[in-house]
Amino acid sequence: MPLIETPFVKMHGLGNDFVVLDLRADQDAAAVLRRPELARALADRRRGVGCDQVILIESDATADARLRFLNADGSEAGACGNGTRCAAALMIEGGDGPRLDFVTSFGSLWAERAADGRIRVDMGAPRFGWRDIPLSAAAPTEDLAETLAPALADFPELKPIKIGAASMGNPHCIIIVDDMNRVEVERIGAALEPHPLFPERANIGFVQVLAPDRLRYRVFERGAGVTEACGSGACAALAVTTRLGFCAPKATLQLDGGLLDIEQDAETGRIVMTGPAVAVFEGRLDPQLLEATDA
């Protein structure tokens, strides 16, 4: 494999952190950097740069760019809201803005800078069909409590109000609770993420309704563990709680890393998320890191 010295930017959205690589001018590098073992090496917080996800910005003839999201374990995610905001902020700052069109495996999305400097991202419409999420078998996606009851028997302290599911380009299981302070997010999330009901594993999110227009949200992300924020998960949380009548279609979500404003269009069902995107530092990948992944 040829040696590559590729620039990257370390960014975060509400503490959900990323290594962002703009590969639009180098398709050879893009092919190399899609490798799962390299994503794992970059995400390693002791031996690599350290991040929750690696984001690849690639060229696409039909849009301003194609976005790929690689989890810390090397698996690929179909969507990432915080990551999309970071990629958009980087490109807008670089002169590609003020409004961008992206292609992802979930479909076409747009992003723009809001008047207050935050980034607005169209996250698409949630999908609730059991095959779309996907689930391994037909089940009522508006209430999975009975289906998941055997797995939740190990957590008698958890008394969910409702359990729903949705896809925002990746599978989300949303558990509505009455007191977030009593929820062991890491322990329960780690147990449910690989549940047989979720053939592609799932992001396990916990929601407390503080008011009709304000939600508390915490998450165990598929392939990353507990993170300070998950944009697609926050959108799924709004979609599920709105579907079940617990929340208005426009709300502020309080995550461990900060606040997101999320709104669902009543006609199209598409969800727009607004939040910050912060660049932390720039660097270049040492070719030795790439070579080490061949070992």
Instruction: Specify the residue for token string 């890491």.
Output: 186
247: annotated active-site residue: no
> What per-residue confidence (pLDDT) applies to 34?
87
Residue 26's pLDDT is what? 84
pLDDT in tens, 53-92: 999 999 999 999 999 999 999 999 888 999 999 999 999 9
Sequence length of the chain is 295
Lowest mean per-residue pLDDT among 22-36, 108-122, 220-234 = 22-36
Cα(153)–Cα(208) distance, rounded to whole angstroms?
A: 21
- Contact 171/126 with Cβ under 8 angstroms? no
Q: Structure tokens of 117? A: 């400097």
pLDDT score of 14 more than 50: yes
**Which residue is catalytic, options 80, 86, 173, 235?**
80
C-alpha distances (whole Å) from 226 to each of 52, 79, 85, 180 are 10, 17, 20, 14
Neighbours of 35 (CB within 10 A): 16
- C-alpha to C-alpha distance for 124 and 130, rounded to whole angstroms: 18
Using pLDDT thresholds of 50, 70 and 90, give the confidence band for residue 117: very high
Q: List, in order of start, the domains of the chain with CATH numbers.
A: 7-123+277-292 (3.10.310.10), 145-269 (3.10.310.10)
Q: What is the predicted pLDDT for the residue at 3?
A: 40
SS (H, E, C) 22-33: ECCCCHHHHHHH
The predicted structure's pLDDT at residue 2:
42
Q: Which of 51, 86, 173, 230 is catalytic?
A: 230
Using the predicted structure, report yes or no on whether residue 5 has a pLDDT greater than 80. Answer: no
Q: Computed from CA positions of residues 43, 49, 51, 53, in that sequence, does the dihedral angle turn out positive or negative?
A: negative
Alpha-carbon span 9 to 7, nearest angstrom: 7
Per-residue model confidence (pLDDT) at position 228? 93
Q: Which pLDDT score is estimated for 293?
A: 63
Is residue 173 annotated as a catalytic residue, yes or no?
no
Q: How confident is the model at residue 31 (pLDDT cuts 50, 70, 90)?
A: confident
Whether 203 shows a pLDDT value over 70: the answer reads: yes
Across the chain, mean pLDDT equals: 93
Q: Which stretches of the chain are DSSP H helices? A: 27-33, 36-43, 81-93, 145-152, 185-192, 231-243, 287-292
Whether the predicted pLDDT of 1 surpasses 50? no
Rg (CA), the chain: 19
pLDDT digits 0-9 by tens, 246-293: 999 999 999 999 999 999 999 999 999 999 999 999 999 887 776 666
**pLDDT score of 288:** 74
- The C-alpha atoms of residue 218 and residue 32 are separated, in whole angstroms, by 34
Q: What is the pLDDT of residue 114?
A: 96
Predicted pLDDT of residue 208: 98
**Stated pTM of the model:** 0.90
CB contact set of 70 (below 8 Å; sequence gap of 6+): 34, 36, 39, 53, 54, 55, 56, 76, 77
- Counting residues of the chain whose pLDDT is more than 90, the rounded percentage is 85
Alpha-carbon span 15 to 6, nearest angstrom: 24
